[in-house]
Amino acid sequence: VNVLPRVVQELIEKLENLPGVGPRTAARLAYYFLRAPENVSTELAKVLIDIKKEIVLCENCFNYSAEKLCPICSNNSRDESILMVVEEPLDIVAFERMGDFQGVYHVLGGVISPINGIGPEEIRVEELLNRIKEKSISEIIIATNPNLEGESTALYIRNEINKVRKEVKITRIARGLPSGADLEYADDLTLQKALEGRGEF
Does position 107 interact with Zn ion (CB under 5 A)? The reply is no
Per-position x/- string for 18-57, each x denoting binding to Zn ion as judged by CB under 5 A, each - no binding: ----------------------------------------
Of 16 and 127, which CB lies nearer to Zn ion in the complex structure? 127
Q: Are strands 103-107 and 56-57 parallel, antiparallel or unpaired?
A: unpaired
Does position 140 interact with Zn ion (CB under 5 A)? The reply is no
What is the rounded CA–CA span in Å between residue 10 and residue 136? 52
Does position 108 interact with Zn ion (CB under 5 A)? The reply is no
SS3 content of the chain, % helix, strand, coil (to 5): 50, 15, 40
Does position 70 interact with Zn ion (CB under 5 A)? The reply is yes
Does position 85 interact with Zn ion (CB under 5 A)? The reply is no
Does position 95 interact with Zn ion (CB under 5 A)? The reply is no
**DSSP code for 113:** B
Q: Pick from 113, 143, 115, 146: which is nearest to 128 by CA? A: 143
Please select the residue that binds Zn ion; options are 11, 12, 26, 63, rule is CB under 5 A.
63
Neighbours of 93 (CB within 10 A): 15
Please select the residue that binds Zn ion; options are 11, 12, 15, 73, rule is CB under 5 A.
73
Does position 58 interact with Zn ion (CB under 5 A)? The reply is yes
What is the rounded CA–CA span in Å between residue 198 and residue 176? 10
Binding region for Zn ion (CB under 5 A): 58, 60-61, 63, 70, 73
